[in-house]
Amino acid sequence: MFFSVAVMGLLINLCRLNQLFVPRGFPVLSIAAYSVPSIPDSLSKSAKIQSSIKLYLKRIHAHESMIETEREDFERGRKYLAQIMGEDPNTFNQEKIDQSIAYLFPSGLFSQKARPKLKPPEEIFPKEKGMIFIAVFLFPSHKELQCDSSGRPLHSLFYTRQPHFYSVMHDAAYQLENLKEMWDGMYINKYLNPLKNHKELVLVSTEWFSKTQLERAIDESVTDDQVTLLFACLQHYFLLQYDQWLTLMNRIASHPLAYCAEKFIFRYRARQVQVVDAEKYPNPEFDPVTQQKFITAYGQKRRCFAEVCVRIPGSGEMNIDGKNLLEAFPLLGNREQIMFPLHVTGTLGKVDVKAKLSGEGTSSPANAMRLAISRCLASLLPDEQGRQRLLVSGLLTQDDRFAERKKPGQKKARKKPIWKAR
């Protein structure tokens, strides 16, 4: 009898805490009690913004106080349930709470809504949509207002409508002014030569962020139709926001001391992807006898040349001057070089390869054959499976390096005889 009374009391307390069942005579705390009247439409735009901030702060404080009260009730119910189950309240986690409720659960309640719950108040009482202040009048991106307890925005450039973008602009302007001060200081100090420690900033194979990449980096939209008024040299320059940022970054990169701001510059530069011309790889031919597509390509490494014909579909056969792969290349590293483009494109064992090699060496013939196979696969396969994967892996780039010749009067290409004074 005592156990059944305790179980019923526990269920009533759980229902009170989670508002699933409201017994008569028990007051229940609700978020609706903290509702604030809406903003009247007769107010001006600035008055609406101020009223929205006040409304946001009131709801935040009310929600925090309600969550704190519910947290105390949750801890009290958790300890009470742990005592009933004979568990330690300090180690009684949410998993044990759910298992205990399932054990004490009445067998007649099958509906999910009728089952009692004991969960943290943050899960039971999430923030309402109305409690999140949206600066509709100021911010078209609909971001949540980040402010302190007094209502002041945390970001110093909050009211510029694009705080992250203008933070980048301020940082760029600071970098440019810093470079100018360093350059002027070199001229003022007679012991410093402005060209003594001069270095060139290498920007090859990189480019500035595009508009989409810049928006992704700063997590804001950069408008290209909004005209910004700039005053410079007593003239009005109407530039787009992205063009304004691009002009400022180019001024930093063109400064003689741009290498001092190298980290800041490369923060907003992306690597250029070398696009191979599609006309370089001809369309494959079709063999009506074997019902296969085939193409022939050439590869070179130093003084070794490879002529390769690849047929698809195939059984994975490799014929290299009448030999198989193991006989032609006994070394494992050379065989891996040849199979690498097939592995990248997923055609290992699905194509037939026939190659003719000329030249001497161990690794050079394998590299020449790898380049020829990559060019064949770039023509046979779709771009997503073939050309793009091979480009990223660097398999379509020919290695033009040669061994440097021996110089007359020297022992090798660079090695010189030892000079002795006596």
In this structure, what token pair is assigned to residue 71? Answer: 């947290």
**Are the C-beta atoms of residues 81 and 92 closer than 8 Å to each other?**
yes
pLDDT at 65: 83
What is the Cα–Cα distance from 128 to 60, expressed in whole angstroms?
10
- DSSP per residue, 65-120: HHHHHHHHHHHHHHHHHHHHHT--GGG--HHHHHHHHHHS--TT---TTTS-----
Q: What is the DSSP letter of 203?
A: -
Judged by DSSP in three states, 7 sits in helix
Greatest Cα pair distance in the chain: 115
In this structure, what token pair is assigned to residue 54? Answer: 């006040």
In this structure, what token pair is assigned to residue 312? Answer: 């698809």
In this structure, what token pair is assigned to residue 165? Answer: 């973008």
pTM for the predicted model, two decimal places: 0.38
**Are the C-beta atoms of residues 371 and 299 closer than 8 Å to each other?**
yes
Residue type, 339: M
How many C-beta neighbours within 10 Å does residue 382 have?
9
pLDDT at 148: 61
Task: Taking the CA atoms of 76, 78, 79 and 84 in sequence, report the sign of the dihedral they define.
Answer: positive
Residue type, 324: N
What is the Cα–Cα distance from 53 to 145, expressed in whole angstroms?
9
pLDDT tens digits in sequence order for the chain, 422 residues long:
333 444 445 444 544 444 433 333 333 333 344 444 454 555 565 565 566 667 666 777 777 888 888 888 888 888 888 888 888 888 888 888 888 887 887 656 666 666 777 888 888 776 654 444 444 334 444 345 566 656 677 778 877 778 888 888 888 999 899 888 888 777 776 555 555 666 677 777 788 888 888 888 887 776 654 434 333 332 333 347 888 888 888 888 888 888 888 888 888 888 775 544 444 678 888 888 888 999 999 999 988 999 999 999 888 899 999 999 999 999 999 999 999 999 999 898 899 999 999 988 888 999 999 999 999 999 898 888 888 888 888 888 888 888 899 999 999 999 999 888 87
What is the Cα–Cα distance from 219 to 168, expressed in whole angstroms?
12
pLDDT at 193: 59
**Are the C-beta atoms of residues 355 and 369 closer than 8 Å to each other?**
yes
Instruction: State phi, psi for 347 to the nearest 5 degrees.
Output: -110, 20
Q: Cα 378 to chain center, whole Å?
A: 28
pLDDT at 42: 55
pLDDT at 180: 86
pLDDT at 340: 92
CA-based radius of gyration for the chain: 37
Count Cα atoms within 13 angstroms, Cβ side, for 161: 11
pLDDT at 383: 84
Only one residue has tokens 């742990």, namely 82
Residue type, 360: E
pLDDT at 26: 36
pLDDT at 280: 63
What is the Cα–Cα distance from 105 to 115, expressed in whole angstroms?
8
Q: What is the DSSP letter of 34?
A: G
- DSSP per residue, 184-206: HHHHHSTT--TTTT------TTE
Only one residue has tokens 């203008």, namely 166
DSSP E strand boundaries for 302-350? 304-312, 318-320
DSSP E strand boundaries for 184-291? 206-208, 227-232, 235-240, 269-271, 285-287
What is the strand order of the sheet 318-320 is part of?
Answer: 285-287, 292-301, 304-312, 352-358, 318-320
Indicate the length of the chain as a whole number: 422
